[in-house]
Structure 1
């Protein structure tokens, strides 16, 4: 019997944050690990969905997974879109996705690590790398949002690295059923 989640909505509090100046310094790269951060060019839809699913499944990142192929392809091809994939010991371990709204701002739309990479002291460096990439576009400010479904360390980490809360909203998230998630990831 298929899991039914259509009527189950999860209340969340979304916190909107901004950073109006680049940090004075960025966290150092962890030592003693085989780490690579690669900019994805022309990322295949299936790989983007894989990253989104693996990084965001626990946190209910569903919006991008629900997009049609055409909608997702259009968004990923937007000028200035910057997606970088973190590799740890040769395998994907996380990603971030920057959406420029230039000349004014860059949005850190998605940032996260896969479960096998968490708790290894890389989060601060990885977020610093995302912030540095965002500032490289020379915006006036960068934005990010997090919610009560995200990792409990997300909001404090954003604040430690220089983001300040500027607002909140209350929303309802409709989780994806197993069948819906499988269908999304198997497209393309």
Structure 2
């Protein structure tokens, strides 16, 4: 446990406050616009396709979790029947990623949820969240959970709360900066200073 006060973050690292949220009963669907969207499950996605979409969505927010996994472990993860990867399409363009993790009985983690830059703010996130909630609870779970952090989109935490999630735990995560580890370009997430 950290004592109150300031704590130095080593050079070459990032620090984020992580908020964990949960939903213990299926939240009602939020009103949504009639949008030309469709959500498609991708069974056993290829790692190149998956990592390309993951980077396009997550690079502005320094997502690195799937980028640091060894290839064999990523292949096993994507082939696991408990991992459900979905792509959000607008017309013929991939604009979103939804990953649901059912590997723990009775629960589902909303492991990844995001839109490509420029797709936010038009209702696509709410549209995809309505379907994410329905898909998760359709599997007979008793708990849906997610986490977000202060490096993520500034509206993410409030979006999850408006969608029916309740915060229950907070942590501080210190990690090697993925830009310095070569996982993301050095110019990714310019709003987060790169301190070498």
TM-score range, shorter chain: 0.7 to 0.9
1:65-80 matches, cutoff 5 A: 65-80=67-82
State the shift of 1:165 in Å: 0.6
- 2:91 and 2:50 mapped to 1: Cα distance? 20
- Cα deviation, residue 104, structure 1: 2.2
Q: Which residue number in structure 1 is paired with residue 15 of structure 2?
A: 11
Q: Using the alignment, how far apart are the partners of 1:122 and 1:97 within structure 2?
A: 16
Q: CA deviation at 1:21?
A: 0.4
Between the aligned partners of 1:8 and 1:77, the Cα distance in structure 2 is 33
What is the CA–CA distance in structure 2 between the aligned matches of 1:161 and 1:179, rounded to whole Å? 34
Alignment check: 8 A CA contact 2:178 2:184 kept: no
Would you say the 8 A contact 1:88–1:117 is kept in 2? no
CA RMSD of aligned residues (A): 1.9
CA contact (8 A) 1:86 1:94 kept: yes
- Runs of 4+ in structure 1 off by over 6 angstroms are none
2:192 is aligned to none
**How far, CA to CA, are the matches of 1:52 and 1:13 in structure 2?**
21
The two structures have a TM-score, normalised by structure 2, of 0.83
How do residues 18-97 of structure 1 correspond to structure 2 at under 5 angstroms?
18-23=22-27, 25-31=28-34, 33-97=35-99
Is the deviation greater in 96-105 or in 66-75?
96-105
| Residues 127-159 of structure 1 deviation map (CA, whole Å, 9 limit, x = unaligned) | 121111111111110110000011111111111
Secondary structure of the residue that 2:67 maps to in structure 1? helix
How many pairs align?
A: 176
- 1:174 is displaced (CA, Å) by 2.2
> Would the aligned equivalents of 1:26 and 1:125 in 2 still touch at CA under 8 Å?
no
**SS across alignment from 2:183:** helix
**Where do 5+ consecutive residues of structure 2 fail to align?**
1-9, 186-196
TM-score (norm 1): 0.86
Match of 1:158 in 2: 160
**1:172 maps to what in 2?**
174
Where does residue 186 of structure 1 map in the other structure?
none
